[in-house]
Every structure is written in C-alpha cells, then in structure tokens.
Structure 1
C-alpha cells in the first residue's frame, strides 16, 4: 500500500493498520520495529518513503498487506494516493473507501478483490486514476458513476469478471 501521509497525525493511522493486520503482535513480526513514538515511519521495516514534488512534507509509503482492506485505513482523510496493487487482498471493495475526500489515485490492481463495485464510487470527486485491473470483480458496473467523476483521466477495469455493458457517461 502506498498512502501519502502527513506526519505525525497519519502515523497513527498506519499504526492502527498494523494493529489490524499484525494479530497477535510478536517479536518476529514484520512490524516489530513500528514505534508509535517515532513520527518518521520511513525508518520502519517494510516501509519505503519518498517526497512528492508540490506537496508540503508528504511521503509515499509502501506497506504490504493481505486479507480484506481494513476499515481503519479510511480514517486517514489526507490520503492523496492509495496503491494497494500486487498484494493478496480479497473480499469486496468496502464502501467506506469512498469517504477519502482527497484521494486522487487508487490502484487496487492485481489482487483477488471480488463482488460488485460500490455505487458510492461517484463520491470520489477528486479521483483522477482508478485502476481495478486483474481482480475478480463481478456483476454489472453500477450506472451513474462515471458522470460524477469529472476529474477521472485514467480508468482500467480490465481482466475482471464483470458482466453486462459498461455504463456510458451521459451528455449534460
């Protein structure tokens, strides 16, 4: 996962993610050196960081996860980009993911996510890139999503199990 975080507040959200995926915590855990008193997680195991031009002090952080997408992640309202590609994520896409108001880039490709897409995807007003390729999403793509995504410049829903027609954007 590569969320952009504003330190130190969003460090708490990364730590809450740790508490969900690292049960029970142990000394041999990959998260053993994740310390709530350290406001720079760039030094933690399995995390890499880089600066993003044009943003005051944010970082891109890479963390690997499996299972379902933890709801605690959706408390990090300053997320600009969320890259969860190439993990072993399963289950459905939680509707709460659409409550991230600053999200511009969402890449969930190359996982095992299934079920249908949430109808509230249209709430992603800032979203520019939505990459859902190579999953197991099925059913029809809900209508009424695309007209609301005015900033969307890249959409990849390839290699899924969708059925029906792709809804077209209506002219206004």
Structure 2
C-alpha cells in the first residue's frame, strides 16, 4: 500500500478492512495531517516484520517508532505495567490493576468486535472470550489521549 504526498489526508481508517497478510509493502510518506496509523492490522503487519517506509507525517505517524509505540509494541510508557494473562487465552483474559476510559477488541483485520466501558477502580478486569474463534486479537486501551494496544491469541 502506497500513500504519499497527500497533505489533506488525516485518516486512513478504511485500512481496517485490509488483511495484513495481503500487504507486501507499507509506504506512508509526507501526508502532514496523517496522525493515526496504529490500526490493528498495521500493528500486525509491522510486528510480523513487514516492509515499510513511514516518514514525514504528523505526530503519531511520523516514523515507525511512533507507530510501534501507538501499537503498544515499542517503548511507550503509557501503562507500561499493564499485565494481562493468560496468553494464549481460552476463556477469560484478565487485565491486572488497570484503569481506562474505554477499551475494544479488534481482530487481525482491524474490525472492532467488542467495546468495554470505563474502568477506574484499578482492580482486575476480565473479558470473556468464549464466543471468539481461535486467532490473533488486539485489545486497544484508551486513557485520556494515550492509547495502548495489546496483542494476544485466542486458543
């Protein structure tokens, strides 16, 4: 996928419909308004070692480090202590001592499958995965303006 030199482009949310297994090269260049590139399928593609060129976009999508941090795969410090288990999960995914404004589960195609309400008590939070098929999933956690994406497997 090649997106270059589109200064008015602020969103690539439609990318959520692209299977990361079908991407062969990701190029996101010089689109100064583009700031959100951490869609689950891009995260999957990058975490699997896909070829990329990411540069010249807005904060959050300026370079691969920005994108990996937003995906929760880099060295971002937002809730760096989030512990979640088991991984792979059979029935319940547990988040330990977590606070968030909202959270959502995405499949590997970037489709939002379920959204969860605010959790502010700092206690454990359990997500029932019984109705999910085996596969790779992402849990996107939002706290204020910060986003963390956790990758996990359903067995």
Instruction: Tell me whether the two structures share a fold, i.e. TM-score over 0.5.
Output: no
| TM-score, with structure 1 as normaliser | 0.30
Give the number of the structure whose residues are more often helix, by fraction. Answer: 1
The structure with higher relative contact order (CA 8 Å, sep 6+) is 2
Determine which structure has more spread, i.e. the larger CA radius of gyration. 1
| TM-score, with structure 2 as normaliser | 0.32
